Amino acid sequence: MKLNRQFSRLLNGWMILSIGIVLLILFPNISILINFFTQETSNWDHIKTHILPLLIQNTSIIMIFTGFFTIMIGTSLAWLVSAYDFPFKRFFQWGLILPLAIPPYIAAYTYNGMLNYTGVIQTGLRNQFNIQVDQRYFDIMTLPGSIFIFTLFLYPYVYMITRAFLANQSAALIENAKMLGSNSFEIFFRVVMPISRGAIVGGVSLVLLEVLNDYGVVQYFGIPTFSTAIFQTWFGMGDLNAAIKLSATLMFIVFFILIVEKFLRGRKRYSYTAARVRPLTPIRLTGWRAWSVFAYAGIIFALAFLIPVIQLVDWMVLTYDKMIDPVFLSLIFNSLFVALAGAAMIVIFAVIVANFARTQQNWLSKASTRTIILGYSIPGAVIAVGIITVFIQIDELLFGIYEAIGLDPTLILSTSLFMLISAFVIRFLAVGFNAIESGFDKTGIKFSEASRTLGMSMTKTFFKVDVHLIKGAIFSGFILSFIEIMKELPLTLILRPFNFDTLSTKAFQYASDEQIHEASLPSIIIIVLSGIAIYFFHHVVEKEPD
């Protein structure tokens, strides 16, 4: 009786939709994971003895250092921008997110193109001053070099989330600390870092998942990591089973990160009870203090955005005349189309599951939220295989229907854009979901509960109350997913329909053929479009608590 009532309370539209979404994500992954339980192959023995130790070592080093540096840079910038006024601060507020617009693999090619023997720096020294330098000091294609690239182009995740938190939440605590006589360093390390723990951990876990999933940078730099090894065993040795075992090992690491994340965020829920929170009032810095803060933010901005973009523009000038044609315009349209459609679907799905999960705290909702992260944690190419398998099966099931409505019984879904966009949803749902979940976390459940008590249904409450409270979060989720899809590579490469190119497939095509100059134009356009998205994001979301 009790069980029955509990079940009927659960059973509503939100739950059914959520379960549907979770299944959508689960199916492709199951079709891959089933292979995990098959017998070990001889290749797996070989991998275990010869390459696995190195993979674990390299991957751990990259993750630890990238994690550390992104936390330091991201949090310190977030703090400076929130708590102080200094020259060009208004620009830096959003300018410091811009590095997110540059795909790390393009950054890697660009930095190497600048620093290597034929690059602008060494040629300048050689031709102007006749200085030959030791190559070792200019070699970025190393393990530390990859940490440099990942740090610079991924720190905005930490910066963004932490800053949003600090701007809205911390005024009272920080002002108290100040009154009690703490100096700014003490405040940063003893108040700011601990209270923004949740935000920092959320940001850095996104960074680490991006790092684990990266293929472009480590492959170009020749650093064996899990993602390169998965590709090599699957494609090189033709052994999907061994590749999946590697993926599964990687997934354990990911789950570990996610559990640690939940644990570190702790049981505390930071939600505010007042409808209005007092934002932090920035202190105006003057003199050398102002300019040194400016210099710090400026150097990071220059390294992570300005310099690589100038280099890319320089290369673009060399090649643009032979690149621009009507076909090129279609690339821009294609990229925008899949990114907008994908991001829209992601936020809709994410809102549904997040709302289900927070209103009904039970094993089912918990399982749903964990499943959503799955897509983000498995390398794109591996997901792609799962997705193709599932879509071909769906197509085969639908052959009868195709015939009934007068179409050829061939692969229709699995050769259409629908498959690609679904793939983006599966892959990046976690990105939108994280943003929206944290929006819900922040507002808490008090207002919705009040609305329910006053007699509105869950769905009505959602549209009348919740959407208004979290629209900033919905928007961030949309923009972040948009940017991710613009930059995405392996899924787009494998799953796109015939004659369908996007900016990122074009940029990659040139870069992988070692024609980095030709790759600059599509890269620049990716950066500009994502940059506009970031600007828009900042100006709409920033001004929201009005």
Q: Would you say 83 and 166 are in contact if contact means Cβ atoms under 8 Å apart?
A: yes
Binding-site member from 279, 447, 493, 535 for another protein (CB under 8 A): 493
CA–CA separation, 259 vs 254, rounded Å?
9
Piece of 180-188, 245-253, 443-451, 500-508 that binds another protein (CB under 8 A): 500-508
Q: Could you say whether residue 321 binds another protein (CB under 8 A)?
A: no
User: In sequence order, which residues have a C-beta less than 8 Å from that of residue 16 and are 6 or more positions away?
Assistant: none
Nearest distance from C-beta of residue 135 to another protein, angstroms: 5
Under 8 Å between Cβ of 342 and 481 = yes
Residues 6+ apart with CB under 8 A from 409: 399, 400, 402, 403
| CA-closest candidate to residue 173, choices 193, 157, 159 | 193
Q: Does 403 bind another protein (CB under 8 A)?
A: no
509 binds another protein (CB under 8 A): yes
- Alpha helix locations (H) across 324-416? 326-359, 363-377, 380-404
Minimum distance between the CB of residue 345 and another protein, rounded to whole angstroms?
A: 8
How far apart, in Å, do the first and last CA atoms of the chain sit? 48
Beta bridge partners of 283: 84
Contacts of another protein in 217-236 (CB under 8 A)? 219-224, 228, 231-232, 234-236
Does position 408 bind another protein by CB under 8 A? yes
Per the listing, tokens 């689960």 go with: 26
Q: Name the segment binding another protein (CB under 8 A); options: 249-257, 282-290, 431-439, 498-506.
A: 498-506
For another protein, the binding residue among 341, 394, 445, 456 (CB under 8 A) is 341
Residue closest to 116 by CA, chosen among 143, 152, 145, 147: 145
- Closest contact distance (angstroms) between CB of 275 and another protein is 14
Distance between CA atoms of residues 154 and 204, nearest Å: 9
Contact call for residue 318 and another protein (CB under 8 A): yes
- Taking residues 4 to 43 in sequence order and writing x for each that binds another protein by CB under 8 A, - otherwise, the string is ----------------------------------------
Residue nearer to another protein on the CB measure, 70 or 443: 443
CA–CA distance from 210 to each of 39, 151, 313, 499 (Å)?
30, 11, 26, 29
The answer to whether 354 and 437 have CB atoms below 8 angstroms apart is: yes
Q: Which of 20, 337, 450, 528 binds another protein (CB under 8 A)?
A: 337
**Positions 371 through 400 that interact with another protein (CB under 8 A):** 381, 384-385, 388-389, 392, 395-396
Q: How far apart are CA 348 and CA 284, in angstroms?
A: 41
- When asked if residue 502 is in the footprint of another protein (CB under 8 A), the reply is no
Considering beta carbons, is residue 184 or 389 the nearer one to another protein? 389
Stretch that binds another protein, among 258-266, 270-278, 283-291, 509-517 (CB under 8 A): 509-517
Encoded tokens for 444: 């808490």
Under the binding rule (CB under 8 A), the answer on residue 238 touching another protein is yes
Total number of residues that touch another protein (CB under 8 A): 80
Q: Which of 288, 190, 209 is nearest to 250 (CA)?
A: 209
Is 484 an interacting residue with respect to another protein (CB under 8 A)?
no
Structure tokens at 478: 């949309």
Largest CA distance in the chain: 88
Nearer to another protein, 209 or 474 (CB): 474
Applying CB under 8 A, the span of 205-213, 248-256, 366-374, 494-502 interacting with another protein comes to: 494-502
Tell me the C-alpha distance between 94 and 193, whole Å. Answer: 21
Residue 107, classed as helix, strand or coil, is helix
**Minimal distance in Å, beta carbon 215 to another protein?**
11
CB of 381 to another protein, least distance (A): 7
Is 208 an interacting residue with respect to another protein (CB under 8 A)? Answer: no
In this chain, which stretch among 9-17, 76-84, 333-341, 449-457 interacts with another protein, using CB under 8 A?
333-341
CB of 52 to another protein, least distance (A): 10
